[in-house]
Amino acid sequence: MTTITESPAATSETSKYEAVIGLECHVQLATRSKMFCGCPTDYAGAAPNTHVCPICLGMPGVLPVINRTAVEYTLLTGLALNATIPDATKFDRKNYPYPDLVKGYQISQYDLPLVKGGFVEITVGADTRPVKLERVHLEEDTGKLTHVSGGSLVDFNRSGVPLMEMVSQPDLGTPAEARAYLRKLRAILRTLGVSGADMEKGQLRCDVNVSLRPVGASKLGTKVEVKNLNSFRSVQRALEYEIVRQAAALDAGQTIPQETRGWLEERGVTVSQRSKEEAHDYRYFPEPDLPPIFVSAEWLDHLREQLPELPDARRGRYMTSFGLGAADAEALSIDQWSARLFEDTVAAGADAKKAANWIQNDVGRLRGDTDGHTLDAQHLADLIRMVDNGEIGISAARQVLPRVHESGRSPQALVTELGLTQVSDSSELEAIVQQVIADNPTPVADYRSGKLSAINFLKGQVMKATRGKANPGVAEDLLKKSLE
Ligand SMILES: [Zn+2]
């Protein structure tokens, strides 16, 4: 698990100021077809412009049709965010010229979004608090430009894919909180099954805005928007960079211009791109080709029944039912893979706190970035029990785990095969203990003259002689008996 920490640079240089951070996330919904036409959305890896039709190519005279599943996914998200769902909503045209926007406008939502307000709870360190959202609305994705020498290429496979925009209030105070918020959003979206929410695949894209104000001031500073953030790490780094940059500018008596900046991952800096448009530049007006949507109480009740256990509820259950602390409960509940393995391992008989530790540390390291794994919960529970029983030492268990993971074989079989069974039998250890005492007269004399810590050195020698297989407790008892 990644530990969320404050950047020392961001806190030390900016102690005079406090940051006010908001996030705007675009989420591709995992529907089978596009937002306003029947084209399939599984365009990943497909040849350019093969998942298109006259509607998503913006041909004149065509009529869009609303994708009901996309609307329901957005409503489900609203319910999961504890938000208000207005009973009437509509689509609007957002007008702007850009080569990836083939119609010259994007169908979006302006003054009547599907979802208003709501919050998610974030946990940073031991503190849990709600972060408020402004709105969630539905729109269509644009095409994709590729710049080549001599010009640009455009692929409209992505054009018209349902896109949910989730706007937070400026309710975040640190880069670490922003990252925790993003992780929580991803966990909710994945738990609901409404999006893959994979940042690397462009399913979850995020812009941040950040301003500084003197500590204690109520008036907001001028906000700067940062785009092109493709990972959780880049969100955190870009914010840390921006906070330091803005603090230095304010200290030098400069004013911060309202602008959009881009994050350059390789250089670790933001650069100015353009001054920010005001909302009216888009000349929004109601989409004349689509009817308004009325959301009935019955429809919402039906959707509410489909809600699975959400990450915040799961975190609470891990704390009350399994006695985990807030940080452990958050780390496990926020990730479906870890949550499932944790619950299965406890069900297979493992101690909950030990299972939580193993999954977050040794198991987490094995997992890497892939979701594929062969670690069986019963095997993990067996391994934890074998350590508890003294059958194997902790270092042997750490050695065995990757092999269990790779081979899918039981830890019992692997421990026997690798000869890692812990030696707890006094008669087997006695000879080694006597040898260690004979070979180390100085530490033995130290111990006998009252320097009791010398026992640790001698115990280390027993562990070394048994290649880590001696039961450390039994070894210590035998040493003491022989020395006294
Ligand atoms: Zn289409």
pLDDT tens digits, 253-273 = 999 999 999 999 999 999 998
Q: Does the structure show a pLDDT above 80 at 377?
A: yes
Burial 391-412 (b: 16+ CB within 10 A, else e): bbbeebbebbbebbbeeebbbb
Predicted local confidence at residue 8, as pLDDT: 40
Q: How far is the CA of 127 from the centre of ligand 1 (A)?
A: 46
Q: How far is the CA of 53 from the centre of ligand 1 (A)?
A: 4
Spatial contact of 140 and 201, defined as CB atoms under 8 Å apart? no
Ion ligand 1: protein residues whose beta carbon lies under 5 Å? 37, 39, 53, 55-56
Q: What percent of the chain has pLDDT over 70?
A: 95
Spatial contact of 480 and 464, defined as CB atoms under 8 Å apart? no
Q: How far is the CA of 104 from the centre of ligand 1 (A)?
A: 16
Predicted local confidence at residue 418, as pLDDT: 84
Give the pLDDT confidence of 149-187 residue by residue, as tens digits.
999 999 999 999 999 999 999 999 999 999 999 999 999
Predicted local confidence at residue 105, as pLDDT: 96
Please report, as a single letter, which amino acid is at residue 121.
E
Predicted local confidence at residue 373, as pLDDT: 55
Q: How far is the CA of 50 from the centre of ligand 1 (A)?
A: 10
Q: How far is the CA of 64 from the centre of ligand 1 (A)?
A: 9
Q: How far is the CA of 52 from the centre of ligand 1 (A)?
A: 4
Q: How far is the CA of 100 from the centre of ligand 1 (A)?
A: 15
For range 43-65, the mean pLDDT: 96
Q: How far is the CA of 161 from the centre of ligand 1 (A)?
A: 9
Predicted local confidence at residue 366, as pLDDT: 81
The better pLDDT of the pair 1, 157 is held by 157
Predicted local confidence at residue 427, as pLDDT: 80
Predicted local confidence at residue 423, as pLDDT: 79
For range 196-215, the mean pLDDT: 95
Q: How far is the CA of 142 from the centre of ligand 1 (A)?
A: 12
Q: How many CA atoms lie within 13 A of 25 on its CB side?
A: 30
Distance from chain centroid for Cα 422: 38
Q: How far is the CA of 334 from the centre of ligand 1 (A)?
A: 35
Predicted local confidence at residue 368, as pLDDT: 63
Predicted local confidence at residue 322, as pLDDT: 96
Q: How far is the CA of 103 from the centre of ligand 1 (A)?
A: 13
Burial of 144: CB neighbours in 10 Å, binned 0-12, 13-18, 19+: middle
Q: How far is the CA of 164 from the centre of ligand 1 (A)?
A: 18
Spatial contact of 203 and 73, defined as CB atoms under 8 Å apart? no
Of 346-355, 441-450, 470-479, the poorest mean pLDDT is in: 470-479
**Residue 12 pLDDT level (bands cut at 50, 70, 90):** very low
CA distances (Å), 329 to each of 377, 383, 422, 433, in order?
Answer: 18, 22, 32, 43
Q: How far is the CA of 80 from the centre of ligand 1 (A)?
A: 30
CA distances (Å), 420 to each of 277, 349, 394, 410, 431, in order?
Answer: 66, 23, 11, 14, 19
Q: How far is the CA of 136 from the centre of ligand 1 (A)?
A: 24
CA torsion sign for 417, 423, 425, 427 is positive
Predicted local confidence at residue 125, as pLDDT: 84
Q: How far is the CA of 35 from the centre of ligand 1 (A)?
A: 9
CA distances (Å), 465 to each of 60, 121, 406, 462, 469, in order?
Answer: 82, 52, 29, 5, 9
**Residue 10 pLDDT level (bands cut at 50, 70, 90):** very low
For range 369-389, the mean pLDDT: 81
Predicted local confidence at residue 426, as pLDDT: 79
Q: How many CA atoms lie within 13 A of 412 on its CB side?
A: 6
Q: Does the structure show a pLDDT above 70 at 277?
A: no
For residue 323, how many other CB atoms are within 10 A of its CB? 12
**Residue 419 pLDDT level (bands cut at 50, 70, 90):** confident
Give the pLDDT confidence of 420-453 residue by residue, as tens digits.
787 777 788 888 999 999 999 999 999 999 998 9
CA distances (Å), 209 to each of 309, 331, 367, in order?
Answer: 31, 26, 33
To the nearest whole number, what is the mean pLDDT of the chain?
Answer: 91
DSSP 131-156: EEEEEEEEEE---EEEEETTEEEEE-
Name all contacts of 42-45 with Cβ < 8 Å and 24+ positions apart: 43/157, 43/158, 43/161, 44/201
Q: The pTM is what?
A: 0.83
Residue with tokens 């780390």: 331
Q: How far is the CA of 91 from the centre of ligand 1 (A)?
A: 18
Rounded Cα distance between 117 and 119, Å, is 7
CA torsion sign for 152, 158, 162, 163 is negative
Q: Does the structure show a pLDDT above 50 at 315?
A: yes
Residue with tokens 């020392």: 8
Spatial contact of 24 and 59, defined as CB atoms under 8 Å apart? no
Q: How far is the CA of 51 from the centre of ligand 1 (A)?
A: 7
For range 366-389, the mean pLDDT: 80
Predicted local confidence at residue 9, as pLDDT: 44
Q: How far is the CA of 42 from the centre of ligand 1 (A)?
A: 12
Q: How far is the CA of 149 from the centre of ligand 1 (A)?
A: 29
Spatial contact of 33 and 52, defined as CB atoms under 8 Å apart? no
Q: How far is the CA of 36 from the centre of ligand 1 (A)?
A: 7
- The partner residues of 470 in beta bridges, in order of sequence, read 423
Rounded Cα distance between 79 and 187, Å, is 15
Give the pLDDT confidence of 123-138 residue by residue, as tens digits.
998 889 999 999 999 9
**Residue 43 pLDDT level (bands cut at 50, 70, 90):** very high
Predicted local confidence at residue 280, as pLDDT: 63
Spatial contact of 30 and 193, defined as CB atoms under 8 Å apart? yes
Give the pLDDT confidence of 72-91 residue by residue, as tens digits.
999 999 999 999 999 999 99
For range 221-227, the mean pLDDT: 94
Q: How far is the CA of 162 from the centre of ligand 1 (A)?
A: 12
